[in-house]
Chains A and B, each alone.
Chain A
Amino acid sequence: MRKDWWIGIALVLVAVLCIWQIEMTTPLELESDPGPLLFPRIAAIGLLLCGLGVVLSAKKEKLSKKLFNLQAAVLVAALIGYVILLDILGFLISTLLFVAFSVWWLSRDGEKKLVPSLVAAVLVAGAVYYGFTEMFNVVLPRGVFN
């Protein structure tokens, strides 16, 4: 399957989902107002046509298998874990864990060392926490310690 077919079909599917949602919605009718559905409807139909256009104008290029990358995939998983932990452990502890892991994980093989990762984690978590709560008066997630 050609590379552009994937994205073209994905765009068509998104457009179909949008059109289905629009047809499910019953808007409030105001006099001489085109209503709240005209805009998204035009955009969704346009998207459908563009998706078809991408499919039809696709070049003969295959999807390269390089799309999956272990280093990036694990980092995304770590980010997801980080956000889940923010709600439970609060900002300081979860940021500490995330930075320690991500510095360690992004180091090249053979250079993965624990101590620099931990030092970086303490510095980053501390600095960001201090900067935001003290200088910008922002409340960061406290998790269960609320």
Chain B
Amino acid sequence: MEPLMQIFTEMVFGTPILYLLIGAAIGIIIGALPGLSATMGVALLLPLTFGMEPIEGISMLMGVYVGGVSGGLISATLLRMPGTPSSVATTFDAYPMAQRGEAARALGIGITASLIGGLLSFVALVTIAPMIARAAVKLSSFEFFSLTVFALTLIAVLSQGNVFKGVASGLLGILFACVGFAPIDGTQRFTFGSLELSAGIGLLPLIIGLFAVSEILRTIVKGEEKMETLKVNLRVRGLGFRLAELIQNGWNILRSSVIGIAIGILPGIGGSVSNLVAYAQAKQASKKPETFGKGNPEGVWASESANNAAIGGALIPMMTLGIPGDGVTAMLLGGLIIHGIQPGPLLFKTNADIVYMVYWAFLLGVVLVFLMQIFGMRTFPLILSIPKRYLYSILLVLAVVGSYVNDNRLFEVWVMLFFGLVGFILEEFDVPLGPLLLGFVLAPFAEVHFRRAVMYSGGDLTPFLTRPVSALFLALAVLMLVYFLVKGFRSKKTNPEGSANGAV
């Protein structure tokens, strides 16, 4: 049997499909609850996957990822609160629709748009990824270093808010990654004489602290917002809307999905930006732009197809170059590395089975999440009424256990708490956390490539500038940095408060 089909049967006729289901259910719930995002779901479930086979772990994590991004539409429609940053634009029209008694239609549209956006980005993933991988095999350490610098600069300058804060966040990530033994020569860095620190800072405690504990703290500090779920009738036949409507919105969905995929591919920004961009474009192209924000279904189609399309886009650079497109893919990358799998161009040759697992898990995840949401629509108000006191307590216990289990060291739990507080403080001061995670994940990779390249050239740095691909990426990075820094200083007076929240 073809390996591609072999992985498929292994996934569908075995335990992986169960893990995918569990992951998707958890993802939908976490995505639906305001304050908890797909990023947090993946952070908390990542430690569970280490005891699993790769196919099971990948299935569960992809389920959480897809479910988490899609689930945000539930609270966006019923509460007017985006369950995740990916669904901000969904609230604009889905909630007014629900208010005038069309909740089921709004949800049906959101769920179907998620499916189509997901499917289109799956097509993009399987066609673009192998092409990039084939081209990337020819890249040497020089190009990889420059590419990493480019990716890091991009995420730092594109994260919302003050550009200095974005860059500082990325640099903090690099510095945290330097703790412990240096690669190649084993010099101890930033260990302060501590034996525990010489092993370095673990990825899991860092992720769980930054993206789970600090999120819980922030939601508690914000205080309980009055959550009044609309009393809605969710009894529907079929999908809640007419097929003609889907066809009418064909162009809108296609455009939004392409926007989602393209934004997903760029490092650092994913679903949280794509839904807003697609919404703005749909409004501009619409014949009735004045009805946007007052319950125009076109807005829901645009937002929900774009945020799901960003998933497939974000997976492309993660798998082909080892450079993640957003916070969640940075965690997936870390998870694969802990499993002993190094994503990058060689992955497609040496570990094609892993590539197929991601493909199938993504595709099945999109379809399963669609089915679960369509048939589970009536349980949505129930999900939103889960009492916070139980939820947070359970999540905190999972955070402690999750950071302990990988190494069986309580020290890791302390590190997790430390990053919980660091993440909380940074976000309070509008410093985005996405660049920190990317810096942390990419720094060892960039450093090894840099030093390997320089040793290879006998201490000569000029190849970074004379090799065309390397020079191009470095030039782009420098240009962007200068442009945004200058802009950052100029906009000091004019720019209103930028929100760094949920830039991941």
Knowing A51-B168, A76-B421, A140-B404, say if A103 contacts B389 (CB, 8 Å).
yes
Residues of B within 8 A of A138 (CB): 51, 405
Residues of A within 8 A of B48 (CB): 136
| Bound CA span A61–B454, Å | 46
B502 to chain A, nearest CB (A): 18
Q: Is the interface of A mostly helix, strand, loop or mixed?
A: helix
User: Is B32 among interface residues, defined by CB-CB distance under 8 A?
Assistant: no
Chain B interface, DSSP helix/strand/loop, else mixed: helix
> Within 8 Å of chain A (Cβ to Cβ): is B397?
yes
- Chain B residues with CB under 8 A of A35: 185
Shortest beta-carbon distance from A90 to chain B in Å: 12
Which one, A28, A34, A106, A128, contacts B187 given CB within 8 A? A28
Q: How far is the CA of A140 from the CA of B192 in the complex (A)?
A: 29
**Chain B 359-382 interface mask (CB, 8 Å, partner A; 1/0):** 000000000000000000000000
Contact indicator B389/A107 (Cβ below 8 Å): yes
Determine the residue in chain A with the shortest Cβ distance to B179.
A40
The residue of chain A having its C-beta at the shortest distance from the C-beta of B491 within the complex is: A57
**Min distance, Cβ A42 to any Cβ of chain B, angstroms:** 9
Asked if B417 contacts A57 (CB within 8 A), the reply is no
Interface size range of chain A in the complex: 35 or more
Q: Is A69 an interface residue (CB 8 A)?
A: yes
Of B51, B164, B183, B420, which is within 8 A of A136 by CB?
B51
Say yes or no: is A122 at the interface (Cβ < 8 Å to chain B). no
Chain A residues in 8 Å Cβ range of B429 = 3-4, 6-7
Q: Is the CB of B187 within 8 A of A124?
A: no
**CB 8 Å contact bits of B380-392 with A (1 = contact, 0 = none):** 0000000011101
* Chain B residues whose C-beta falls within 8 Å of the C-beta of A30 in the assembled complex: 184-185, 455
Interface size band for B: 35 or more
The verdict on B443 contacting chain A, using a C-beta distance below 8 Å, is yes
Knowing A71-B220, A98-B397, A132-B401 are in contact, say whether A33-B185 is a contact too (CB < 8 A).
Answer: yes
Q: Does B178 sit at the interface, judged by CB under 8 A?
A: yes
Closest-by-CB residue of B relative to A136 is B51
Which residues from B are CB-within-8-Å of A21? 189-190, 192
Minimum CB–CB distance for A62 against chain B, Å: 13
In the complex, number of A-B residue pairs with CB atoms less than 8 Å apart: 179
Most buried by A among B51, B164, B165, B417: B164
Contact B396 A79 (CB under 8 A): yes
A114 at the interface (CB under 8 A from B): no
Q: Which residue of A lies closest to B156 (CB)?
A: A50
Q: Which of these, A11, A33, A50, contacts B454 with CB under 8 Å?
A: A33
Are the CB atoms of A47 and B51 closer together than 8 Å? Answer: no
Task: Tell me if B394 counts as interface (CB < 8 A to partner A).
Answer: yes
With A32-B458, A34-B450 as known contacts, state yes or no: A50 contacts B388, CB within 8 Å.
no
Q: Which residues of the other chain, A, contact B196 by a CB distance below 8 angstroms? A: none
Residues A44 and B184 in contact, CB atoms below 8 Å apart: no
Complexed CA–CA distance, A22 and B179 (Å): 11
- Write the chain A residue with the least CB distance to B408: A139
How distant is the Cα of A35 from the Cα of B423 in the complex, in angstroms? 31
Closest B residue to A56 using CB positions: B489
Beta-carbon contact of A124 and B221 below 8 Å: no
Q: Which of B176-201 contact A (CB under 8 A)?
A: 178, 182-190, 192
Does A13 sit at the interface, judged by CB under 8 A? no
With a cutoff of 8 Å between Cβ atoms, the chain B residues found around residue A128 in the complex are 397-398, 401
Which A residues are in CB contact (< 8 Å) with B217? Answer: 72, 75-76
Which residues on B sit within 8 Å (CB–CB) of A79? 213, 396, 400, 417, 420
The CA of A11 and the CA of B429, in the complex, are separated in Å by 12
The chain B residue with its CB closest to the CB of A64 is B428
Contacts of B189 in A (CB 8 A): 21-22, 25, 36-37, 40
Per-residue 0/1 for B396-437: is the Cβ within 8 Å of any A Cβ (1 yes, 0 no)? 111011001100101001100100110000101101000000
Q: Give 17 A-B pairs besides A28-B186, A53-B164, A99-B394 with Cβ atoms closer than 8 angstroms.
A: A11-B172, A22-B189, A25-B189, A40-B174, A47-B168, A54-B165, A54-B168, A69-B220, A72-B217, A72-B221, A75-B217, A75-B220, A76-B417, A83-B410, A98-B397, A106-B220, A124-B393
**Pairs across A and B, CB under 8 Å, 24 listed:** A6-B429, A11-B172, A27-B182, A30-B184, A30-B185, A33-B184, A33-B454, A34-B459, A36-B184, A36-B187, A40-B175, A43-B175, A50-B168, A53-B488, A54-B165, A71-B221, A75-B220, A76-B417, A98-B396, A106-B220, A124-B393, A132-B401, A136-B48, A141-B410
Interface residues of A (CB under 8 A from B): 3-4, 6-7, 11, 14, 18, 21-22, 25, 27-28, 30-37, 39-40, 43-44, 46-47, 50-51, 53-54, 56-57, 59, 61, 66-67, 69, 71-72, 75-76, 79-80, 82-83, 86-87, 91, 95, 98-99, 102-103, 106-108, 120, 124-125, 128, 132, 136-141
The 4 closest A-B pairs by CB, nearest first: A36-B182, A32-B459, A53-B164, A106-B389
